[in-house]
Structures are given as C-alpha cells and as structure tokens.
A and B are shown apart, each in its own frame.
Chain A
Amino acid sequence: MKKFIIQFFFFSLFSFITYIAVIFIIGSIIPSEFTPNMSYPIGSKGNLYTRLNEVKSVKNTDVLFVGSSHAIRSFNTFDIKTMGINCFNLGTKSGTPIQVLTLLKRYLNQLNPEILVFEVYPDTFETDGVEAALHLLANDKIDKYSFEMTFKSKNIKLYNTLVYGIISDILKLNDSHKEDKVRGNDTYFSGGYVERTNSYWTPRKIKSKHIEFKEKQLLAFIEIIELLKSKKIKPLLVFAPVSPSLYESYINIDYFDSVMNSYASYYNFNKTLKLNDSLHFYDNNHMNQRGVDEFTPKIIEILLKEKTRTHNNVYKKLPK
C-alpha cells in the first residue's frame, strides 16, 4: 500500500507538470478550432484587450458602465464625457453577471464610481458564462478572481485556458500583443465604447423564448448589488435597446422586469425608446451608431437627474 501511495503521488506530480507543458504547447501551436476544450481568444471582437489595458490607468470615475457587448456598443462614453461626466465602459463580450462581478472585484476600488450602470440583458442570466470567461482570462491579468470565476463555471475549457493564461502571464507573452482601434466596421474610442458604422439590416424572425434565470448568475447578480451597497455606490440597471424583433420574442419580459425592479432602479429602454430594426441596428442585438445617437441623450438625461442625488450635487471633475 505504501508503495502504491508513493507511486501515485509521484505519478500525479509528474502528470501535473507534463499536463501543464502539453496544454501550453498545444495552446501555442494548434488552432483553437481543433482543440474544443482549449481556447485563448486574445484580442477578440469588441476590443476587450485594449479596454482592459486602458482601465488599468483610469481612476475615480463618476459613472462606470458594465455588462455585455450591449454595454460596449450602447454606452457612448465619448459623447457622455462631453456632458462633464467622467465615465468608463467596462463591458465584456457576452459578459454575464459572473464576469461583471469578477471585473468589479478587480477594478471597483480603483475606479471608485458614484454610479454604476449595469446593462442587464436576459440572455446573460441564462448562460453558463463560459464564452465570456474565456475572453476575460485571455485578455486580462490572472489573479485570485480569475480562479474564483473559473471554479464557479466548472468547465474543463476554462480550467485549460486558465492554465495557459497563467503561463502566458508568467512569460509575459501578452505584452507584445497589439490590437487595432479600427477593425472592419468597428472603431474603439478611449473610454471603452465601440462604435459600429451605419448600415441597413434586414431583420429575421426569431423563435419565441422564455426567460429563465440560472441560479449561479442570479447569485452573482445579487452579490454585485450587495457589493455596490457596501461601497455606497448607486446601481442603475439598464436593459439597453435590442432590435424590436428580438425584444418581442421574449414571452415573459414582465417577469424579467419585475425581478430587476426588485433589486435596484431599473430602466427598460425597449419600452420607452422606439427604434427601428433596420435603421438602428446592425444585428438582432446591437445598435448601430444611428441607434446609439438616439439612445445617448436618454441615458445622459438619467445620469444628470441622478447627479442631483450624488453628494454635493456634482460629479468629480474630468481630468485635464
């Protein structure tokens, strides 16, 4: 028995080291299309790499925007800043509450916002968040929160990507990565917003769907609200405009609204702002610049109204 335990221990050790080496080699040389459980999407759509590089030098904002790609492509920080509101858009591609929580734990103290605008989109409460977690692991530093997020998702793909990310961090392989600010029809603006040029989009019919919350996403969402309360930061929940064809496909949107309303101030812009599928969107989910131009004054209006409730009735000054 003693021999078995000793041999098992040494095999485990050997196996662990070899496994890490194999993951690193495979991650470096084999395209992720051929390794379903290993993906390192550095520099993916939505300029996450640039955004997360930029956020490291940002401090003391008035407003912080978080959420999914809807946040990235809806909150025009460039225009909002012109109104004297110091803000940053920390949205992540496919970001679910689990990823938002990770980012807040990592950057909230440093960004120290008065108001946090959390873009809430029903689908992000229904997924396991693996895709967004992969993006975060590949485009940001690895720390204890990365481990926390990975273990919450319990997915082998994330474990492998975390292993690759750790080695990548140690060897500083990401430091040399360059991401273009203009990629195809997208333009990244300092402050985290990504603009999509106008085009005409033909909507397609979407199957009706029923919103069901995943327990772990709802728990992460509640943890975010608690975290904000403990830091005396005002949360604003915003369901940013999606194409009417997508919005109408949700059967129980009232249920979603009621859940959101029970946690914080909630604005469903799909009810108040009437946009057109073809004119204001470039796909089912995201607005083009024409749509964002309609939406931005509305969000500024809310932020200015909220301003009166912040201490001293002023936001912090924009850095010169």
Chain B
Amino acid sequence: MLFNSIDFAIFLPIVFFLYWFVTNKNLKLQNLLIVVASYLFYGWWDWRFLFLILFSTIVDYSVGMALNTESNQTKRKVLLWTSILVNLGFLGFFKYYNFFLENFVTAFSFFGNPINTQGLNIILPVGISFYTFQTLSYTIDIYKRKLTATKDFIAFSAFVSFFPQLVAGPIERATHLLPQFYKRRKFDYALAVDGMRQILWGLFKKVVIADNCAEFANQIFNNSADMNGSTLVLGAIFFTFQIYGDFSGYSDIAIGTSRLFGFDLMQNFNFPYFSRDIAEFWRRWHISLSTWFRDYLYIPLGGSRGGTWMKVRNTFIIFIVSGFWHGANWTFIVWGALNAIYFLPLLLTNNNRNNLETVAKGKLFPSLKELSFMLLTFGLTVFAWIFFRAENISHAFNYISEILSISLFEIPKFESPRDARVALITIILTCIFVLIEWLGREGQYAIENIMIKKPKIVRWTFYTLIICFISLYMKSNESPFIYFQF
C-alpha cells in the first residue's frame, strides 16, 4: 500500500479508530492490531512475501531468546551468525544474486572462459533492506548485551513489521523502538497534531516536489544522449530534489503516522541540502542508515582509531557498503566511493566535525561564506547523484562528458513547449519548497515551527494552502516511492 494512495487514506482512519477506540484497553490487543494492520499493509502489495517477514521474525525472536540464556561465548557467536546469515542470506539472494552471477560470468569471459548461464527472474521484496537491518540491530544488540531479548512475540512482531516504517524506514534500533511496544500508549493531542502536520508536509514533498521533478529527471536521464549540457545539469538538479522529496517525504509520513499511534521514530533527514560540507551532509541524510553503518560496521572495524590507513580503509568500506546497500549495480558502488573521496580530506584534516550546528542558527540569512560552502556541497552532491541515477557507469560518464562540453552554455531543451512550461512551474515550486525548508530548518521538519505562534486562523489557512498546492500540482497517478526498490 502506498502512503499517497486512496487505499491508505481509507486504511489509516480505520486502524486509528480500532487502535484508540476498540483495542485501547488492552496493550496486547493493541500490539496485535498493529501486527495485523502491518501485514495487511504489506500484503496489499504482494502477500507471498509476508512469509519472508514472518520467517525473519521467528528466527530473530528465537535467536534473541537463546542469546538471553546462553552464556557460552562460542555458542553465542554461532547464534549471532545464524541470525546474520539468515537475514543477509535472504537479502543477498533477492537483491544481489543476479548481480554477482553477471559479474562472475563477465569476469570469466574476460579471461577467455565464457560461461553460459541465465539469471533468475527474481522479484525484490519491497522494504527487505530496511526490515532486515532493523531485525539485525535487535540480535546484535542482545549479543552485545545492550538489550534483553523480549519474550513477547506479538510485541516483537509489531516491532519488525510496524507498518509506517516497514517498507522504507527510518531503520529503527531495537533499543529505541521495541520498548515502546511494552508500554501502554496514551493518546497525546499535541503529538497527534504534530503527526498530522508532518504527514501533510511529507505528502507535499512527495506528490508535489518529488513527482513533478521525477517527470523531468526521467525524461532527461532516459534521453540524455539527445540533450545538451545545460539540460543535463537541470536533469541532475531535478533528480536531486526528486530523491530528497521522495525519501524524506516518505520518512515524514512514516514519522507522522507513528505519532498518531503514540510512537516516536527517529529523525531520518535534517535538511541535508543546507550542509556546509560532505561530513555534515552525511550527518543529515538518511540518518537512520548512516548511524546503523556507523554503529554496526564502522566502529566494529575500528572506526577512526588505529592510524591514517585504517581510517581511510574504514571510510571507504562504510561508504561503498552503503552504496551497495542501495542496489546491485556498479553505479551505487561508484556513488558510495565518490562520497568517500569527498569525505576523506575532511576526515584526514580533522575537519569532519566542524559544522555540528544548524547553519545560520537564529538568523534569517547565511553569511557569504556559509552560502558558498552550502552551494559547493550541494554541487558535489548533485554531481554524485548522476552516478546514483544513471543506468550504468558508461551512461554516467557520457552524461558527465556532455555536461563538460560547450553545450553547457546553450539554452536547456525540452520535448515540447508544454514540457518547458511545466518544467518552469516545477522550478518555481521547488524554489518555494526550498524557501520553506530554509525558514523551518531548525525544526525536525520544515513546517514544525512555522506559523506555530500565529493565531489559529492563520495557521489553518497556511495548512489549507499546502493542501491546495497538493491538489493543484500533484501528479494524477499514484507513483511509488523510489526507496521501495532498495
């Protein structure tokens, strides 16, 4: 089920009603409702993959219970590796099987031993990368004795399958989310209103900004061989806002929906395009994944301890793995490596933690220096997104080489005057969006604090105007979120 669908608009109020009016007296029943609703939410797409979630849930629940009672370190290790292998095994099969097969065949063919083999026609289960990492955090934390395993199977199932964040995150830690299923939830008016506000803003980001930018990003990337340099730059910028609007929009709706049910999810995006360097960008982009890799990969590898080469090696590993997590394509790996290259100079000169505060905090405008650094970081990010979006590496290089040609100074081309007009409207909408994001950058999401102190009538008018913008500029078809494919 998509957040931006009529189905979800019907589903959400029904679950909300049952949750607060029918099952509210019994915590177990409330958790069971979450499980049923979550399975229905996921099964709406393809019910067959529910068995995969159920299997992961049973394995990790059992491993957790066994780890709780087991004191023998070797046996504990075996248990942990069972969980890791099962979870990563599924992920590896569904997501990476064909990639490895193709590269294996290519490598052998290169050395003069061609192999005839055929890839499998595998459907990637939506959200597998997200819930796999979430359940892995559970067993790893129990292994590290940071967490005690739960005996409550229903609560654990609800934690694994919690529908707002099941298919595209935020990837929650068991230490943060699981205990919330043990406690009785009380309806909190302020939290629910805040949730509604965040859902509204997330929806705006997705259906107005991301979907409109997507039309041109797709058009330009799919026909890049016929485009001039300036159009290609525009295409990369459109994609930059598409992916941000799409993914952070999803996160906003997920967090907002959770709030309606009395849950607190972690912030996943913190205005990354206002970052002054790449290190700051990575503290603000897909926070739940970056911190997951930091805690469960970077630090166990030794982190930034152990000399310069160790730092370089670990940085490359974490960025490349992060790129590979997005998909089985060399473009994602290059995207990750490129970000590592951006990041290294900051790390090696100990400047990676310079910008911890929000830019121009308490001020309306940034300084010229801040603005320059923001634009530079934004430019580097846009450049890296070209690899992320390209079909393959040669597509990315052709795209970039055309940008670096003299055609960069030509006027952008569109397929028709209608397209040029719609592109202009999209640029104007994106500028309005960036302005609102800038004004609200000190909140958890842009409109959290905007207008909050104004009279109710002003606030309501502001929210209604956002609804009008959605209605007037959304795309008519329900388009899926980009991160579903990861």
The interface centre, meaning the residue of B189, B196, B473, B476 with most chain A CB atoms within 10 A of its CB, is B476
B468 close to A1 (CB less than 8 A): no
Q: Which residue of B lies closest to A11 (CB)?
A: B460
Is B474 interfacial (CB-CB < 8 Å)? yes
A35 touching B460, Cβ below 8 Å: no
Q: Is B52 located at the chain interface by the 8 A CB criterion?
A: no
A residues 1-16 with Cβ under 8 Å of B? Answer: 1, 3-4, 7-8, 11, 14-15
Q: How far is the CA of A33 from the CA of B460 in the complex (A)?
A: 28
**Can you name the residue of chain B whose Cβ is closest to the Cβ of A3?**
B189
- 0/1 interface trace, chain B 413-424, chain A, CB 8 Å (1 if under): 000000001100
Chain A: interface residue total (CB-CB under 8 A):
26
Known: A3-B189, A4-B192, A7-B193. A35 touches B472 (CB 8 A): yes
The answer, yes or no, to whether A156 is at the interface (CB within 8 Å) is: yes
Contact A19-B189, Cβ < 8 Å, known A1-B20, A36-B425, A156-B476? no
Residues of B within 8 A of A11 (CB): 460, 463
**Shortest distance between the CB of A154 and any CB in chain B (Å):** 8
CB pair A23 B193 closer than 8 Å: no
Q: Are B422 and A19 in contact (CB under 8 A)?
A: no
Are the C-beta atoms of B189 and A4 separated by less than 8 Å?
yes
* B187 interface residue per 8 A CB criterion: yes
B189, B193, B463, B476: the one contacting A155 at CB < 8 Å is B476
Size of chain B's interface in residues, with CB distance under 8 A?
A: 22
Given contacts A36-B473, A37-B472, A156-B471, contact A22 B20 (CB under 8 A): no
Question: Which B residue's beta carbon lies closest to that of A163?
Answer: B471
Question: Once bound together, how far apart are the Cα atoms of A159 and B472, in whole Å?
Answer: 10
A19/B472 in contact, CB under 8 A = no
In the bound assembly, the distance between CA atoms of A157 and B6 in angstroms comes to 16
Contact B471 A19 (CB under 8 A): yes
Residue of B460, B472, B474 near A15 (CB, 8 A) is B460
Point out the residue from B189, B425, B464, B474 that lies within 8 Å of A156, measured CB to CB. Answer: B474
Is B71 in contact with chain A by the CB < 8 A criterion? Answer: no
Q: Which residue of B lies closest to A26 (CB)?
A: B472
**Contact status A14-B476, CB under 8 Å:** no
Residue on B with the closest CB to A33? B421
In the docked arrangement, what's the CA distance between A35 and B472, Å?
Answer: 6
Contact between chains at B476 and A157 (CB < 8 Å): yes
Q: Please, which residues of chain B bring their CB within 8 A of the CB of A159?
A: 471
| Binary contact readout B179-201 vs A (1 if CB under 8 angstroms, 0 otherwise) | 00000000101001100100000
A41 to chain B, nearest CB (A): 15
For residue B425, which residue of chain A has the nearest CB? A34
By a CB distance below 8 angstroms, the chain A residues around B467 are: 15, 19
Separation in Å of the A22 CB from the closest CB of chain B?
A: 5
Task: Give the CA-CA distance A35 to B192 in the complex, in Å.
Answer: 32
Quick one: CB contact mask for B4-34 with A, threshold 8 Å, 1 for yes?
0010000000000000100000000000000
What is the interface of chain A mostly: helix, strand, loop, or mixed? Answer: helix
Instruction: List chain B residues, Cβ under 8 A from A34.
Output: 421, 425
By beta carbon, the residue of chain B nearest A154 is B6
Is A284 an interface position by the 8 A CB rule? Answer: no
Which residue of B has the minimal Cβ distance to A37? B472
Q: How far is the CB of B5 from chain A (nearest CB, A)?
A: 11
Residues 23-56 of chain A: 1 if any B CB is under 8 Å from the residue's CB, otherwise 0? Answer: 1001000000111111000000000000000000
Chain A residues positioned under 8 Å from B421 (CB to CB): 33-34
Given contacts A1-B20, A1-B187, contact A36 B464 (CB under 8 A): no
Report whether A19 and B20 are in contact in the complex, using a CB–CB cutoff of 8 Å.
Answer: no
> What is the CB-to-nearest-CB distance from A159 to chain B, in angstroms, rounded to a whole number?
8
Is B187 within 8 A of A22, CB to CB?
A: no
- Report Cα–Cα, A50/B464, bound state, in Å: 37
The CA-CA distance from A160 to B422 in the complex, in Å, is 18
Using CB atoms, name the residue of chain B closest to A1.
B187
Residues on A with beta carbons closer than 8 Å to the beta carbon of B472: 26, 35-38, 160
Residues of A within 8 A of B464 (CB): 14-15, 18-19, 22
Select from chain B the residue with minimum beta-carbon distance to A7. B193
Closest to B190 in A: A4
B299 within 8 A of A: no
User: Which residues does chain B contribute within 8 Å of A155, judged by CB atoms?
Assistant: 476
- Distance, CA A11 to CA B467, complexed state (A): 12
* B465 CB within 8 Å of chain A: yes
Q: Which residues of A contact B20 (CB under 8 A)?
A: 1
Note all chain A residues with C-beta closer than 8 A to B468. 18-19, 22-23, 26
Please give the distance in Å from A30's CB to the nearest CB on chain B. 9
With beta carbons under 8 angstroms apart, the residue of A15, A23, A37, A154 that contacts B473 is A37
> Which residues of A157-178 have CB atoms within 8 Å of chain B's CB atoms?
157, 159-160
B461 within 8 A of A: yes
- Binary interface encoding of chain B residues 461-486 relative to chain A, with 1 for a CB under 8 A from any of its CBs, else 0: 10111011001111010000000000
Closest to A157 in B: B476
Q: How far, in Å, is A101 (CB) from chain B's closest CB?
A: 21
Complex: A286 Cα to B149 Cα, angstroms = 73
B117-159, CB under 8 A of A: which get 1 and which 0? 0000000000000000000000000000000000000000000
Q: How far is the CB of B201 from chain A (nearest CB, A)?
A: 15
The answer for the CA separation of A34 and B473 in the assembled complex, in Å, is 9
The reply to whether B461 and A18 form a contact with Cβ atoms under 8 Å apart is: yes
B465, A22: Cβ atoms closer than 8 Å: yes
Q: Are B476 and A37 in contact (CB under 8 A)?
A: yes
Return chain A residues, CB-CB under 8 Å to B187: 1, 4
Map CB proximity to A onto B288-331 as digits: 1 under 8 Å, 0 otherwise.
00000000000000000000000000000000000000000000
Q: Is the CB of B476 within 8 A of A4?
A: no
Chain A residues with CB below 8 A from B422, complex form: 36
Using A11-B460, A15-B464 as known contacts, say yes or no to A4 and B193 having CB atoms under 8 A apart. yes
Contacts of B196 on A, CB cut-off 8 Å? 8
CB distance from B210 to the nearest CB of A (A): 15
Q: What is the chain A residue whose CB lies nearest that of B21?
A: A1
Q: Tell me how far the C-beta of A155 lies from the nearest C-beta in chain B, rounded to whole angstroms.
A: 5
| Residue numbers in A under 8 Å from B476 (CB-CB) | 37, 130, 155-157
Nearest B residue to A8 by beta-carbon distance? B196
User: Which residues on B sit within 8 Å (CB–CB) of A22?
Assistant: 464-465, 468
Once the chains are docked, how many angstroms separate the CA of A15 from the CA of B187?
24
**Is B460 a contact partner of A37 (Cβ separation < 8 A)?**
no
Q: Which of A15, A35, A36, A38 has the most chain B CB within a 10 Å cutoff?
A: A36
Which residues of A have CB within 8 Å of B6? 154
* Docked complex: B420-457 residues within 8 A CB-CB of A: 421-422, 425
Q: How far is the CA of A37 from the CA of B476 in the complex (A)?
A: 8
Bound CA–CA A290/B472 (angstroms): 43
Using CB atoms and an 8 Å cutoff, list the residues of chain B in contact with chain A: 6, 20, 187, 189, 192-193, 196, 421-422, 425, 460-461, 463-465, 467-468, 471-474, 476
What are 13 A-B contacts defined by CB distance under 8 Å?
A1-B187, A8-B196, A18-B464, A18-B468, A19-B467, A22-B468, A23-B468, A33-B421, A35-B473, A36-B422, A36-B473, A37-B476, A160-B471
With A18-B461, A34-B421, A36-B473 already in contact, 14 other A-B pairs whose C-beta atoms are closer than 8 Å? A1-B20, A4-B193, A14-B464, A15-B463, A18-B460, A19-B464, A19-B471, A22-B464, A22-B465, A26-B472, A36-B422, A36-B425, A38-B472, A157-B476
The 10 A-B residue pairs with the shortest CB-CB distance, nearest first, are: A18-B464, A15-B464, A22-B468, A37-B472, A1-B187, A155-B476, A14-B460, A35-B472, A4-B189, A4-B192
